[in-house]
Amino acid sequence: MSVRSTITSQFQQVAVEQERTLAPLADELKLVQSGLDSLSFAIIVARLEDALGIDPFNAAEAVDFPVTFGDFVRLYENFGK
Amino acid sequence: MASDGPSLWESISLKGVPAGRLEGAAAAVALADFARGSALGGRLAELRGRSVLLAVRDQLTAALALIELDGVARRMVLCTPDLATQHLPGVIRDAEVDASVCDADSDPEARVGVAVSAQPRLANLVSSRRAASATEWILLTSGTTGAPKLVLHTLASLTAVLATEPPPPAPLTWSTFYDIRRYGGLQIFLRALHAGSLVLSERGEEVGDFLTRAGGAGITHISGTPSHWRKALMSGVTSRIAPQYVRLSGEIPDQAVLDGLHAAYPQATLAHAFASTEAGVAFEVRDGRAGFPEDLVAAPRAQVELRVQDETLQIRSPGTATRYLGADAPVLKRADGFVDTGDRVEARAGRYYFMGRRGGVINVGGLKVHPEEVEAVINAHPAVRMSLVRPRRNPITGAVVTAEIVLKDPAATPDAAAVVREVTESCKRLLPAHKVPAMIRIVPALEMSPSGKLVRPNA
């Protein structure tokens, strides 16, 4: 499964678990308008660390916090490159 | 109890009627009008000498009631907006509540004793606000069983650190993501009253809407937890305010959030403060780096003493709380006056870094979770023998809750996934969302200490 599809399925699964209505996941979707709260994002990042073996937020160099869904996917896709 | 200083209203009006404002999302009050007005419908006199449950939902109303009641009530209990109905009877009993201040949205169970209605619109102040005694301020903080612990402060202890700082040269406009009925927010409320104005957040308000409102009010100083700030950074809304001073407290900040805020507000002083409801404000670090300089421990400063014992930070200062209320309350201070924060620290190259909490208390976005409380819910499942709840480090909320479960009879439990599902469901039903384990694993066994206790790895 690609990084993008792994991320997409985690967003969908956590939205169901947290009983939140998830906006359609387009690259330009602002995370703040995704329907998810901080706790949902925290769970997504923890599950992605297990699924992908990386936590790009904990990188040695400073991270630009992602603002859109596209930023979020790129943060994972470009990690370690 | 003898009064040992001016009341809150007296202290902010010492040099004349204060010029500041308190602003909520729906209403605002000028302190000058408040000099002759009452949010309590003119019924302040009925609350004199009483132990008052402050159970209003609206934060602006709570702010006004706190100012009116200090020096008048014997005691006020600051109910947090998420206080569950089931915990109200214990709070009312332990704080010997005999009066209440409520608004239209208050929990009906909170309307006890002499019940006064409050609102953020001012009525004429018909009785004297004359201070009679030092009021006890009771703050609620999460306890191991899920029932809140009642922490006793006074205005003197709440403002001890503030009182050592020089007054600002010009009026400030403060804001905070926190609710002012939590320690971190209360500190900002008291600072703002002495320094200018305050813009209050609104429960359920989007972070962008809040910062737009704060920016419109021209805020100069703002505080929140690292989790609040990460949310603001991830919302792309940081440019809606232009603060001179940005404060983080309530959780341990990592370098990523400090760097993110420095990039967003290069002109601002970036400060992270260490404080807890019990220990008070210990210090503020302004160098933009995670952790704190070792010399804060070596060289005691104005009234605040820090020491590290058994790798854990301990604090002694006039800002610490007095004690816990209640018949079976634990001891808050050691005999020598130090409060054990439970926060583990480690020195590396002249700096102390936080290493998580002793005893496994988990801090999820500034909200404490006691593992025992979650384990009690999990262990109620008929197929579960025992469980261990522990924190997992997280870049968004500082930590999330995880659980490991040992089944009573794995051979007789073919569908372990169903147990995980059912446990998750009961946690969701009985606990607030931040306490529900984000991950649950079935494990063959959990490590026990020689004394038969579950071994809790430090976070």
Fold for A3-76, please state it. Answer: 1.10.1200
Structure tokens at B456: 């809790």
Q: Tell me the three state secondary structure of residue B438.
A: coil
Query: What is d(CA B354, CA B252) in angstroms, rounded to the nearest whole number?
Result: 7
Give the pLDDT band of residue B133 (cuts 50, 70, 90). confident
Q: Is the dihedral of CA B267, B272, B277, B282 positive or negative?
A: negative
Q: Tell me the three state secondary structure of residue B260.
A: helix
Contact B438 A57 (CB under 8 A): no
Quote the pLDDT of residue B301.
66
Quote the pLDDT of residue B253.
87
- Is B450's pLDDT higher than 70? no
Contact B438 A32 (CB under 8 A): no
Q: How many CB atoms lie within 10 A of CB A81?
A: 4
DSSP B389-406: EEEEEETTTEEEEEEEEE
Q: Which helix (H) or strand (E) holds A9?
A: helix A3-17
CB of B209 within 8 Å of a chain A CB? The answer is no
Contact A47 B256 (CB under 8 A): no
Nearest to B371 by CA among B263, B457, B286: B457
Q: From residue B11, give the alpha-carbon distance in Å to each of A51, A56, B7, B155, B406.
A: 56, 49, 6, 10, 57
CB of B82 within 8 Å of a chain A CB? The answer is no
Quote the pLDDT of residue B445.
87
Structure tokens at B60: 């602006």
Phi–psi pair at B387, nearest 5 degrees: -150, 160
- Going by their DSSP bridges, the two strands B196-200 and B172-176 should be labelled as parallel
- B250-289 residues touching A, CB cutoff 8 A: 254-256, 259-260, 263
Nearest to B288 by CA among B268, B309, B315: B268
CB of B400 within 8 Å of a chain A CB? The answer is yes
Query: What is d(CA B324, CA A38) in angstroms, rounded to the nearest whole number?
Result: 32
Question: Is residue B89 within 8 Å of residue B10, measured between CB atoms?
Answer: no
Query: What is d(CA B152, CA B139) in angstroms, rounded to the nearest whole number?
Result: 7
Q: Where are the alpha helices (DSSP H) in B414-458?
A: 416-430
Chain segment B276-303, per-residue pLDDT in tens:
999 999 999 999 999 999 988 877 666 8
Q: Which residue of A has its CA nearest to B393?
A: A46
Structure tokens at A28: 């330009």
Q: Hey, which residues does B367 pair with through a beta bridge?
A: B364
Q: Hey, which residues does B284 pair with through a beta bridge?
A: B273
Token pair 């599902």 in the structure block, residue: B421
Structure tokens at B211: 């910062």
Question: Is residue B240 within 8 Å of residue B212, measured between CB atoms?
Answer: yes
Q: How many residues does chain B have?
A: 459
Structure tokens at B32: 């000058």
Quote the pLDDT of residue B303.
84
Give the pLDDT band of residue B4 (cuts 50, 70, 90). low
Q: How many residues does chain A have?
A: 81
Quote the pLDDT of residue B8.
95
Query: What is d(CA B139, CA B280) in angstroms, rounded to the nearest whole number?
Result: 12
Q: Report the phi/psi class of residue B249: left, alpha or beta, with left for phi > 0 and alpha for psi in -120 to 50.
A: beta
pLDDT, mean over chain A: 91
Contacts of B231 in chain A (CB under 8 A): 38
Q: Where are the alpha helices (DSSP H) in B291-344?
A: 295-298
Q: Tell me the three state secondary structure of residue B183.
A: helix
Q: Tell me the three state secondary structure of residue A8.
A: helix
Q: Report the phi/psi class of residue B267: left, alpha or beta, with left for phi > 0 and alpha for psi in -120 to 50.
A: alpha
Contact A38 B227 (CB under 8 A): yes
- A4-43 residues touching B, CB cutoff 8 A: 17-18, 30-32, 38-39, 41-43
Structure tokens at A45: 């990042």
The one-letter code for the residue type at B35 is A
Chain segment A17-53, per-residue pLDDT in tens:
999 999 999 999 999 999 999 999 999 999 999 999 9
- For chains A and B, what is the number of CB pairs under 8 angstroms? 73
> CATH 3.40.50.12780: does it fit domain B8-344?
yes
**Closest Cα in chain A, distance from residue B294 (Å):** 23
b/e burial code for range B156-174 (CB count within 10 A of at least 16 → b)? ebbbbbbeeeeeeeeebbb
The one-letter code for the residue type at B156 is A
- Alpha-carbon dihedral of residues B431, B434, B439, B441, nearest 10 degrees? -40
Chain segment B176-224, per-residue pLDDT in tens:
999 999 999 999 999 999 989 999 999 889 899 999 999 999 999 999 9
Q: Which residue of A has its CA nearest to B440?
A: A47
CB of B438 within 8 Å of a chain A CB? The answer is yes
Q: Which helix (H) or strand (E) holds B139?
A: strand B136-141
Question: Is residue B139 within 8 Å of residue B153, measured between CB atoms?
Answer: yes
The residue ranges of every structural domain in chain B are: 8-344, 361-442
Record the pTM: 0.84
Contact B439 A55 (CB under 8 A): no
**Closest Cα in chain B, distance from residue A77 (Å):** 18
Query: What is d(CA B326, CA B94) in angstroms, rounded to the nearest whole number?
Result: 5
- The CATH number for B361-442, chosen from 3.40.1280.10, 3.90.1150.10, 3.30.300.30, 3.40.30.10, is 3.30.300.30
Q: State the angle between helix axes of B226-235 and B255-264 in degrees (0 to 180), rounded to the nearest 10.
A: 50
In angstroms and rounded to an integer, the radius of gyration of the C-alpha atoms of chain A is 12
Quote the pLDDT of residue B385.
86
Q: Which of B208, B233, B400 sits opposite A46 (nearest CB)?
A: B400
